[in-house]
Amino acid sequence: MHSCAPIPMPKVALVVDDSMLIRYTVCRSLEERGFTVESATNGAEAVQILERIHPDVVVTDMQMPKMSGSELITYLKKNPKTAGIPIIIVAGRASGFDEKEKRANCAIYKDIDIQSQLDKALDAVMGKSQARGASK
């Protein structure tokens, strides 16, 4: 065996949204930036996924069946292993999304160009140098 330079591990993102379209858009955008993406349709599913992966960032909707985004954030923040993971909220403008949700690092809106907002949010939470994976 000969020694090789370590291969940087891809960054992992967990996308949680009950809307298939939003999930697809966000996942595709993250993959373009070099992330390995896991997705869940609600918070309860996300909790199961968190038992086997440790994401570098969580992108979550707030209004979902079974377990809401707020409940998922509570779960993440209570657990010492996941408390430091940056959280980006995806919310509909008319959803009555509570701007007082201070536990998340960023919020982006579904009804405006998600991709450009997500790029800015990732730059903010991951640091510009790390967040830029593959260029478009």
pLDDT by 10-residue block (mean), the chain, 136 residues: 62 94 92 94 96 94 90 94 92 61 75 79 73 43
Q: What's 81's domain CATH number? A: 3.40.50.2300
Q: Which domain holds residue 113?
A: 12-126
- pTM of the predicted protein model: 0.80
Domain count, the chain: 1
Pinpoint the alpha helices (H) of the chain: 20-32, 43-50, 69-78, 114-126, 128-131
The answer as to whether 132 is a domain residue is: no
The answer as to whether 4 is a domain residue is: no
The answer as to whether 47 is a domain residue is: yes
Neighbour count for residue 47 (Cβ, 10 Å): 19
| 126 Cβ contact partners less than 8 Å away, ≥ 6 residues apart | 11, 56, 57, 86
The answer as to whether 45 is a domain residue is: yes
Q: What is the pLDDT of residue 4?
A: 64
**90-125 b/e with 16+ CB inside 10 Å = b?**
bbeeeeebeeeeeebbbbbbbeeebeebbbebbbeb
The answer as to whether 54 is a domain residue is: yes
Q: What is the pLDDT of residue 87?
A: 93
